[in-house]
Chains A and B, each alone.
Chain A
Amino acid sequence: MPVTFEKIFIYGLTFFSLFNIFLILSVFLEKPLRRRAYSRNRKGLPKVSVIIPAYNEEEHIAETIEHVLKLDYPRAKLEVIVVDDGSKDRTYEVAKRFVKKGVKVFRKRNGGKGGAVNFGIKIASGDVVATLDADSFPERKALLKMLPYFEDKRVMAVTPAMLIHRPKNFIEKIQYAEYLFGVFLRKVLAFVNAIHVTPGPFSLFRREFFEKHGLFDEKNITEDTEIALRMQKHHYKIENALDARVTTVGPSKFRNLVRQRLRWYTGFVNNSLKYKELMNIYEYGFMALVLIFAYVSVATGFMYVAYISYKNAQSLSNYFNQLYLLGLDALNPANLSWVEFREGMLNYLSDPLIFLGLLAIVTVFLLMALVKRYSGDKTKLVPSLTLFVIFYIFLYVSFWGAIFINKVLLRRKVKW
């Protein structure tokens, strides 16, 4: 077998991917998923303030507040604060309806999500502060499942298992699988204390952190990444409760999804550069590795797509050549030969890369089935996961491509 540049290239990529997979598995297999028993002793529970920042969320805000009010938690220890960030629609009026149920509703001039959350934190009286995006819905036991992680004094934040709310179309289904994979990954990252984002849909924070190290960065486009990295910088811990399910509404249109990712990924780049000391492996270990690998993965993603496109273009041109040479006879099934088909398949399946790729897909399916079962979600897995396996890499690369165009070529600023 001749060693070509193509071979070195593709085997190098595969090796890097394998290394990543086994790094993840080394954590996952060693520390099997364990439910943490939540506290039965209701007297010892801390006071929790749930802060719901809302901007133009009249459609979902009522359902979100209802979910919070239905949380299995002593009412006296649960403070609910809605901060309307100068919405142009009826968000404020809808939220106002819940005042009689003890919900505190405020309205401020529009100033971004970070500002709205900070506004709430300043008012909040709880020892634990929860942020909840106004289009996200925590399950009843979520709080009880997440709070026990605060027993460790170094834990400053606890993240939930975040899933897409009732995925229907293609874009939502792909996101569902992506989030499910994220649920798995976040748990693994929690084991080695390398979580780099505490997402808006129901992350819990120890109030003490805000007092010592300041509130959310109001100018940041992804304030949830900034605060997580700030915690990591100070060597605190961020935990994850795999069985605390929170569903969130994902963009249902491709345009909006791209816009969301443009914000997320640009925010990630900005913040990881802001805290670039975190990339020092000798001080931050896995945290550093995760940040570095995030960048390397983008590069490898591009390389994979380039390679796949090259290969597909090649076989497509072969196919067209056959059509050109043979005309309609190329399509006539009578001219297909079983031996040719069998030998072609053998060629294909005996390729180490195809073999490894299939193995990886099977592993992803099994892991995702496990995680889904564990999180207790009822959405159908197979359609989403199939779409994910086929299309995700292209989506991912196009997001980063959009960022590159936006940031480097057009030098546009990304707004919240």
Chain B
Amino acid sequence: MVRYTREFKARIVFALAFAVVFLALAILAGRVVSDARAQSIRNLEGEIRTALDDFTIATELRGDICASQTYVDLLTRKLDEEGTKISALEEKYGKSHPRIVNAKKLYNVLLLKHYLAVKELNEMCGANFTTILFFYSNQPLYKDVSEDQGIILGLIRKKFSDRVRVYALDVDLGLATVDFLREKYGVESVPAVVIDGKTYGYLTKEQVEEILSSGNKSEGL
């Protein structure tokens, strides 16, 4: 009695086919979710750009940036959200995925516009935001230490959200503005942290907090 029957073969084929279909469906479902998230980043980008343009034009019409402070706060939250979304996708797809690199370029440009606005608020309206520029690189040699610095500054951003603004800038994106800022603040190696115009190398959490509190004291005096 031979048990290698047609029924046997049919079941094997059935199981193989369904395994393929289910694996494909699961991968597809994952793709759909990722696409939706990439789309939501693009939407967010659009929103931020519109809001920035709106803010710039309103400021020009009024001839006074100080009245627009609440818009800047709104932008801060949106930019934070976009940053988080992008780093989550980075974690999933790796940092060199073209979709992510493109999103990051735009994000960095928007960040710098925000940075200029905050500087203006500080200079012209007596606002007292500490700005931190964080230059980093995902090249193998710098990646780990950049990520550590990122974790520390991520905490600083949340812990002092009322008075500190952090701008994480990727030096490998080839953006003219980023390159200009590097030159301006004499940043030669990454990671580098520029706090209120003063350039440092890698900083521990305690060091950042110390710099922040001493800056406050000098302003209080």
Contacts and interface: CB of A to CB of B under 8 A. Distances in A.
Q: Does chain A bind chain B?
A: yes
Contact of B2 (A20, A282, A327, A347): A282
Given A284-B3, A347-B88, A329 B155 contact: yes
Contacts of A339: 80-81, 84-85
B74 interface: no
A285 B5 contact: yes
Contacts of A355: 26, 29-30
A133 to B, nearest CB: 31
Interface residue SS majority, chain A:
helix
A169 interface: no
A335 B30 contact: no
B18 interface: yes
Given A22-B14, A286-B3, A346-B33, A15 B88 contact: no
A380 B119 CA distance: 65
Nearest to A357: B26
Contacts of A344: 88
B159 interface: yes
B205 interface: yes
B19 A283 contact: no
A350 B33 contact: yes
B78 to A, nearest CB: 11
B1 interface: yes
A18 B85 contact: no
A211 interface: no
A281 B93 CA distance: 42
A12 to B, nearest CB: 10
Interface in A283-318: 283-287
Nearest to B92: A347
Contact of A1 (B5, B26, B85, B93): B93
Interface string A321-347: 110011101100011010110011011
A27 B1 CA distance: 21
A26 B12 CA distance: 9
Given A2-B94, A285-B4, A285-B5, A352 B148 contact: no
Given A22-B15, A343-B88, A349-B33, A335 B155 contact: yes
Contacts of B34: 350
Contact of B23 (A321, A325, A352): A352
B22 A235 contact: no
Interface string A345-375: 0110111110110010000000000000000
Given A26-B15, A347-B88, A350-B30, A285 B8 contact: yes
Contacts of B143: none
Contacts of B11: 23, 26-27, 192
A14 interface: yes
Given A327-B205, A352-B27, A356-B22, A19 B85 contact: no
A347 B91 contact: yes
B1 A235 contact: yes
Contacts of B148: 321, 325
Interface string A218-235: 000000000000000001
Contacts of A337: 84, 158
A121 B13 CA distance: 44
Contacts of B58: none
B67 interface: no
Contacts of A349: 33
B37 interface: yes
A335 B161 CA distance: 10
A11 interface: yes
A327 B14 CA distance: 54
Interface string B59-103: 000000000000000000000110011011101111001000000
A15 B15 contact: no
A91 interface: no
B23 A335 contact: no
A325 B15 contact: no
B151 interface: yes
Nearest to B27: A352
Nearest to B205: A326
B83 to A, nearest CB: 9
B152 interface: yes
Given A22-B15, A22-B18, A340-B84, A11 B1 contact: no
Nearest to A29: B14
Contact of A193 (B3, B88, B92, B94): B3
B16 interface: yes
Nearest to A234: B1
What are the 3 closest A-B residue pairs judged by CB atoms, nearest first? A285-B3, A343-B88, A350-B33
Given A22-B15, A326-B152, A337-B84, 12 more contacts: A1-B94, A15-B20, A18-B23, A26-B15, A285-B4, A321-B151, A322-B151, A325-B205, A339-B81, A350-B30, A350-B34, A355-B29
19 contacts: A1-B94, A14-B23, A18-B22, A18-B23, A193-B3, A235-B1, A282-B2, A326-B152, A326-B205, A330-B155, A335-B158, A335-B159, A337-B158, A339-B80, A343-B85, A347-B89, A350-B29, A352-B27, A352-B29
